[in-house]
Structure 1
């Protein structure tokens, strides 16, 4: 009940022939995978830049609100309280910043 060496050789030869026939396909797949990897890296960079732009926009928005708060503060405490309340509701991320002003 042993393994027939000629069958093993035949199987190995069949595998080699198969790989040789499909070498172009494998190289093509490898190239497509590399291109996909590069596109994903570019997408990750684009996403990171988008996040940075959103953060910059949020900071600019916060600064504009800060300037508006200063004007309101100079006009009276009622306007200040109303605006800070609105700021907390509309922008929970920056609501705690109002407390520091």
Structure 2
């Protein structure tokens, strides 16, 4: 299996490779990305690639002026939506791995 690489493309700094760091970027056991302590600088497109193949990409917008912690109900809905998207990502990864075998 090839190397999974996450990239952040911001309007200010252009593309940069994301390296795991315990205080900022965590990679899950399924190669997902968790961004900690989000700020306005985290706004942009995040892309996950395996070799030359794009597995997924997400646009993230952080409005630091109005960004408040979500209510419990909002959090549950957002978490549920995220889990559904992550399941799609895992299926795409498995399909890609099957094609490579």
TM-score by length of 2: 0.29
Q: Per residue, is there more helix in 1 or in 2? A: 1
| Greater length-normalized contact order (CA 8 Å, ≥ 6 residues apart) | 2
Q: Per residue, is there more strand in 1 or in 2? A: 2
